[in-house]
Amino acid sequence: MKILALYTASESRGPVESQPAVQLRAGCGIVGDRHYKRNAKPAEQITLIESEAIAAFNRDYQQQVESHTLRRNVLTEGVDLNALEGREFLLGDIRLRGIELCEPCSVVGKLLAGDLTPPQVVKALLGRGGLRCEILSSGVVRVGDSIKTEAP
C-alpha cells in the first residue's frame, strides 16, 4: 500500500501538476493547492483515488484515462479506499481521516467524455471515484510513501 503520485492545482479548474512531495497542513489542506485555506472543511482538504479503480475504468470502458485527469490529489496502490470512510489512517507519517466517498461530478464527466457521454462517465465511476479526507497532522508526504491502515 503506497503513494504512486501526488497532484495539485493552484486554481479551480486550472491545470493539475504532478509533485514529488507535498506539504500537508492539519485543518487546512495541501500547501499550494486550490483548496488550501485556514479551517478548510474536512471533506475539502485532500482527495485520494485508487490506481486500480482507474485501471478498471480504462479496461471496462476501453478508455485511456490518465490518473491526473480525475483531479484527485493522491494516487494510491494496494489500498481499499472505500473501506477507510470514517476511519483514521496514515499517509506516510501524516494522520488522515476518511470523511466521505469522492463520487464523480459533472465536471469530471465532461473532462473524460469522448466515446462516453458525461452521464455515462459519472455512472461508470460511481463507487470508485476516491475518498475525501481530513488532514489531522502536519508534515510532508512523498511519492513512494506507504499507506498504513489500522485494524478496525
**Mean pLDDT in runs of 10 for the chain (152 residues)?**
96 89 97 92 95 93 89 96 96 97 84 85 89 97 95 52
- Residue range 2-144, CATH number: 2.40.33.20
What is the pLDDT, as a whole number, of residue 151?
A: 55
- In this prediction, residue 23 carries a pLDDT of 98
pLDDT at 15: 87
CA separation for the pair 37, 29 (Å, rounded): 7
Q: Look-up: residue for cell 484515462? A: 65
The confidence score (pLDDT) of residue 48 equals: 97
**In this predicted structure, what is the pLDDT of residue 115?**
83
